[in-house]
Amino acid sequence: MARLTINISDKLDKEMREYIEKNNLTITTFLHLAISKYIESQKQSKEWQSFFTDLIKKELDKWSENIARKNRGRTTTTASNY
C-alpha cells in the first residue's frame, strides 16, 4: 500500500477528523472512500456533460434540418418571373 503525506487546511483537517470520529472510520478508510467517490463523481460529470452535449447537438441538427426544409419550400421571385 502506498504511503502518502498530505497538507490540508486546519479547517478541513478538523472537519475530516470530526467526520471520522462520528462515523467510526480510520483515516485510511476515509481517504479511500473520499478519493474513490471523487473519481466516480468526475466520471459521472463527464458522462452527463457528454450526454447533454450530444443531446444539444441533435436538437440543433433538427432545427437546422427544419430551417433548410422551410427554405427549400419557399419560392423566390426573380425578374424572370415577370
Is 80 part of a structural domain of the chain? no
pLDDT higher than threshold 60 for residue 82? no
What is the number of structural domains in the chain? 1
Instruction: Tell whether the torsion through CA atoms of 12, 13, 14 and 17 is positive or negative.
Output: positive
64, part of any domain: yes
Q: Let me know how long the chain is.
A: 82
pLDDT (tens digit per residue) in 15-63 = 999 999 999 999 999 999 999 999 999 999 999 999 999 999 999 998 9
DSSP result, 38-77: HHHHHHHHHHHHHHHHHHHHHHHHHHHHHHHHHHHHPPPP
> Structural domain of residue 21, as residue ranges?
15-68
80 pLDDT band, cuts 50/70/90, is low
Here the cell at position 33 is: 472512500
In a domain, 21, yes or no: yes
**Domain annotation covers residue 20:** yes
Instruction: Give domain status of residue 34, yes or no.
Output: yes
10: in domain:
no
Report the pLDDT value the prediction gives residue 77, as an integer from 0 to 100.
56
